[in-house]
């Protein structure tokens, strides 16, 4: 980047403002470490509890830095008093509560503008802000301070393009392509995309949902911003990079997979990771299915029972991470089938291994014993599987999950769907899918004599190689980071000596 040729030039200062959920906080911390490794000074603005989530990654990034690497800093702000229980400062904690506090949490999101404004006023100059799409107000706040805003949406360009299509073409009935059936509702074709994408109405947010206007407002604010940074890479979804830039006319830089971008993320095993990895060491290569649904998705006792039944029926070795509210319950007898616990009773010879709560997911996915990953299709989990070359069994729940499933199963062809049909939040009931159907998808992916499984595994391996190459020197993501930093530095030079204000910034941003 430009700073390497001008040693007297102050490094770029970039402020990161992530949404308060692990799936947003962690990739932003990795992204900040990535930008710092290229010479930028990076600050992450967050609250005390959320700082604890990212501090290990920040400390490792700074520890592994060099004399030419700028530091990653954490700047703290208090979480406002909006009636939430003490210590509940993120979506993960919110999902474990018995009372629905979502309205309180959304109220808090609006109150962070004041500390955001204060940071920009007190830390002039800041050369760019990377703020989450959920902080709609940050688009106008950044303009008022003369700072370009880069959006972080935390998903794929494919999902972003599908979502934009829905927001633009609502109501959904205008694109209905088939009559009502008895298997999940009407099929809807999403127009104007590079691939034919059909979704069931039941798999998408209803325009009547109270959050629909919120997402429309977010999308409008994002279009007013300087551009977007994606935790993705060119070779993963090239048609949608072109669609996003050329057809939608929106600026994008692909800088991922950010977890692969710095040596600081090559973590040694330790603590609770050791027993799981030792168990994996006893299993043949390509013999284990890993089951994990992220930190927010929750499952009813009936669904947990069917997952357990499917793992038993499949006959495969498995690692199952039981998270969310189920991880805090001591008595699992309500849902655990008779005889299932015996499958995990003996650490050395058992067919299964259960982890309660957090798991070293990247280490597990990269273990030679892994053959498949049953996932909720959160984007971070998909990227980690792609980076490790591991194919997927897909079980989407809500948010961008169903879009990501389409990308994995139909576009990339590195996954098998279990057939989930209902979009519902972590606080709402989902259809219970029979263990036999779940087991069938596992067998389709991992069957020794299945041509389909062989083709999927081959494609997954190829994508893993491309993911690792993207973040290496002269890789597509490595070069996109450089282009973005060069553009921000050029913008600083152009603006040097000019008055700062809304009109000048809009002119400099080309908006």
Domain end among 435, 450, 468: 468
- Which bin fits 391, alpha (ψ -120 to 50), beta or left (φ > 0)? beta
Total domains present in the chain = 2
Q: How far apart are CA 73 and CA 32, in angstroms?
A: 9
CA torsion through residues 324, 325, 327, 332, sign = negative
What is the average pLDDT across 151-157? 95
Per-residue model confidence (pLDDT) at position 488: 97
Q: Phi/psi of residue 431, each to 5°? A: -60, 140
Residue 334 — very low, low, confident or very high, per pLDDT cuts 50/70/90? confident
Q: How far apart are CA 474 and CA 223, in angstroms?
A: 29
- Strand ranges inside 381-443, DSSP E: 392-394, 415-417
Tell me if 20 sits within 8 A of 50, measured CB to CB: yes
82-95 per-position pLDDT tens digit = 999 999 999 988 88
Does residue 13 share a domain with residue 127? yes
Does residue 408 share a domain with residue 301? yes
Does residue 370 share a domain with residue 278? yes
Does residue 125 share a domain with residue 10? yes
Measure CA 191 to chain center. Answer: 25
Q: Residue 429 above 90 pLDDT?
A: no
**Gyration radius from the chain CA atoms:** 23
Better-scored residue on pLDDT, 213 or 152: 152
Lowest mean per-residue pLDDT among 287-301, 333-347, 357-371: 333-347
220-236 per-position pLDDT tens digit = 999 999 999 999 999 99
Q: Is residue 317 part of a domain?
A: yes
Q: How far apart are CA 45 and CA 13, in angstroms?
A: 13
Measure CA 505 to chain center. Answer: 30
Both tokens of residue 223?
């279009």
Q: Residue 4 above 60 pLDDT?
A: no
Tell me if 359 sits within 8 A of 384, measured CB to CB: no
User: C-alpha distances in angstroms, 236 versus 44, 134, 244, 252?
Assistant: 28, 25, 14, 14
Residue 428 — very low, low, confident or very high, per pLDDT cuts 50/70/90? confident
Residue 246, C-beta contacts closer than 8 angstroms, at least 6 positions apart: none
SS3 call for 28: helix
Per-residue model confidence (pLDDT) at position 97: 83
What is the average pLDDT across 142-161? 96
Residue 176 — very low, low, confident or very high, per pLDDT cuts 50/70/90? very low
Q: Residue 152 above 70 pLDDT?
A: yes
Question: What average pLDDT does the chain have?
Answer: 87
Per-residue model confidence (pLDDT) at position 349: 83
Residue 383 — very low, low, confident or very high, per pLDDT cuts 50/70/90? very high
Q: Residue 178 above 70 pLDDT?
A: no
Residue 413, C-beta contacts closer than 8 angstroms, at least 6 positions apart: 455, 456, 459
Q: How far apart are CA 172 and CA 191, in angstroms?
A: 11
Q: How far apart are CA 481 and CA 473, in angstroms?
A: 11
Q: Phi/psi of residue 376, each to 5°? A: -80, 0
Q: Is residue 332 part of a domain?
A: yes
Does residue 489 share a domain with residue 460? no
Measure CA 64 to chain center. Answer: 24
Per-residue model confidence (pLDDT) at position 174: 39
The secondary element (H helix, E strand) that includes residue 33 is helix 22-37
Q: Is residue 460 part of a domain?
A: yes
Q: Residue 427 above 70 pLDDT?
A: no
Q: Is residue 339 part of a domain?
A: yes
Both tokens of residue 77?
């702000």
Does residue 317 share a domain with residue 249? no
- For helices 476-495 and 22-37, the axis angle rounded to 10 degrees is 70
What is the average pLDDT across 264-277? 61
**Annotated active-site positions, please?**
24, 132
Q: How far apart are CA 438 and CA 372, in angstroms?
A: 13
Q: Residue 508 above 50 pLDDT?
A: no
Per-residue model confidence (pLDDT) at position 305: 95
Q: What is the 8-class DSSP label of residue 149?
A: E
Better-scored residue on pLDDT, 169 or 448: 169
- Strand ranges inside 376-414, DSSP E: 392-394
The whole model's pTM is what?
0.90
Lowest mean per-residue pLDDT among 129-133, 259-263, 364-368, 505-509: 505-509
Does residue 492 share a domain with residue 417? no
Q: Residue 377 above 70 pLDDT?
A: yes
Q: Is residue 60 part of a domain?
A: yes
Residue 170 — very low, low, confident or very high, per pLDDT cuts 50/70/90? low
Both tokens of residue 384?
């980690």
Q: Residue 272 above 70 pLDDT?
A: no
Does residue 413 share a domain with residue 395? yes
Q: Residue 358 above 60 pLDDT?
A: yes
The secondary element (H helix, E strand) that includes residue 238 is helix 238-242
Report the CATH number that the domain containing residue 254 is assigned in CATH: 3.40.50.2000
Q: How far apart are CA 463 and CA 469, in angstroms?
A: 10
DSSP characters over 337-376:
PTTSGGGGS-TTT-SEEEEES---HHHHHTSTTEEEEEE-
Q: Is residue 173 part of a domain?
A: no
Does residue 477 share a domain with residue 363? no
- What percentage of the chain exceeds 70 in pLDDT? 86
Q: Is residue 188 part of a domain?
A: no
Domain assignment of residue 13, given as a range = 2-77+112-156+221-261+473-509
Does residue 369 share a domain with residue 483? no
Residue 239, C-beta contacts closer than 8 angstroms, at least 6 positions apart: 194, 195
Q: How far apart are CA 254 and CA 228, in angstroms?
A: 9
Per-residue model confidence (pLDDT) at position 328: 56
Q: What is the dihedral of CA 375, 381, 384, 385, to 10 degrees?
A: 20
Lowest mean per-residue pLDDT among 28-32, 120-124, 269-273: 269-273
Both tokens of residue 275?
């027993």
Residue 277, C-beta contacts closer than 8 angstroms, at least 6 positions apart: 269, 360, 363, 364, 367
What is the average pLDDT across 476-481? 98
Per-residue model confidence (pLDDT) at position 264: 46
Does residue 381 share a domain with residue 334? yes
Closest CA to 280 of 360, 175, 214: 360
Does residue 354 share a domain with residue 460? yes
Both tokens of residue 360?
């070293």
Q: Is residue 120 part of a domain?
A: yes
Q: How far apart are CA 399 and CA 156, in angstroms?
A: 12
Residue 302 — very low, low, confident or very high, per pLDDT cuts 50/70/90? very high
Measure CA 297 to chain center. Answer: 13
């Amino acid at each position: 980047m430009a700073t390497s040729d001008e040693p007297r030039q102050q490094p770029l200062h970039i402020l990161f403002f992530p949404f308060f959920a692990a799936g947003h906080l962690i990739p932003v911390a990795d992204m900040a470490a990535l930008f710092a490794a290229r010479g930028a000074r990076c600050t992450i603005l967050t609250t005390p509890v959320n700082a604890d989530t990212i501090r290990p990654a920040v400390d490792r990034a700074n520890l592994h830095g060099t004399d030419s690497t700028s530091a990653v800093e954490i700047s703290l702000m208090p979480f406002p008093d909006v009636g939430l229980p003490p210590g509940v400062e993120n979506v993960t904690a919110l999902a474990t509560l018995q009372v629905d506090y979502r309205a309180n949490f959304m109220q808090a999101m609006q109150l962070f503008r004041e500390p955001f404004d204060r940071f920009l006023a007190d830390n002039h100059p800041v050369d760019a802000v990377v703020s989450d799409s959920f902080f709609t107000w940050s688009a106008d706040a950044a303009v008022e301070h003369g700072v370009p805003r880069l959006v972080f949406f935390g998903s794929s360009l494919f999902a972003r393009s599908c979502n934009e299509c829905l927001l633009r073409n609502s109501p959904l009935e205008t694109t209905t392509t088939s009559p009502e059936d008895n298997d999940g509702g009407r099929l809807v074709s999403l127009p104007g995309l590079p691939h034919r994408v059909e979704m069931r109405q039941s798999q998408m947010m209803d325009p009547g949902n109270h959050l629909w206007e919120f997402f429309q407002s977010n999308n409008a604010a994002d279009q007013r911003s300087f551009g977007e940074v994606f935790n993705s890479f060119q070779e993963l979804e090239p048609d949608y990079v072109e669609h996003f830039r050329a057809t939608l006319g929106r600026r994008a830089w692909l800088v991922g997979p950010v977890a692969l971008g710095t040596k600081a993320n090559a973590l040694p095993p330790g603590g609770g990771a050791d027993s799981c990895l030792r168990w994996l060491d006893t299993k043949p290569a390509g013999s284990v299915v890993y089951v994990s649904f992220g930190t927010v998705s929750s499952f009813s006792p009936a669904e947990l029972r069917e997952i357990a039944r499917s793992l038993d029926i499949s006959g495969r070795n498995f690692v199952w991470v039981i998270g969310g509210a189920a991880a805090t319950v001591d008595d699992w007898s309500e849902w655990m089938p008779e005889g299932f616990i015996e499958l995990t009773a003996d650490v050395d010879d058992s067919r299964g291994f259960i982890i309660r709560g957090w798991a070293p997911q990247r280490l597990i996915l990269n273990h030679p014993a892994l053959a498949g990953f049953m996932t909720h299709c959160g984007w971070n989990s998909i990227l980690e599987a792609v980076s490790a070359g591991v194919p997927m069994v897909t079980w989407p729940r809500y948010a961008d999950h169903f879009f990501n499933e389409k990308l994995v199963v139909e576009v990339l062809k590195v996954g098998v769907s279990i057939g989930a049909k209902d979009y519902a939040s972590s606080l709402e009931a989902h259809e219970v899918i029979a263990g036999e159907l779940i087991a069938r998808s596992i067998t389709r992916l991992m069957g020794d004599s299945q041509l389909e499984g062989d083709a999927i595994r081959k494609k997954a391996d190829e994508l893993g190689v491309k993911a690792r190459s993207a973040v290496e020197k002269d890789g597509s993501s490595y070069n996109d980071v450089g282009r973005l930093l060069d553009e921000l530095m050029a913008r600083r030079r152009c603006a040097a000596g000019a008055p700062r204000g809304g009109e000048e910034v809009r002119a400099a941003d080309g908006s």
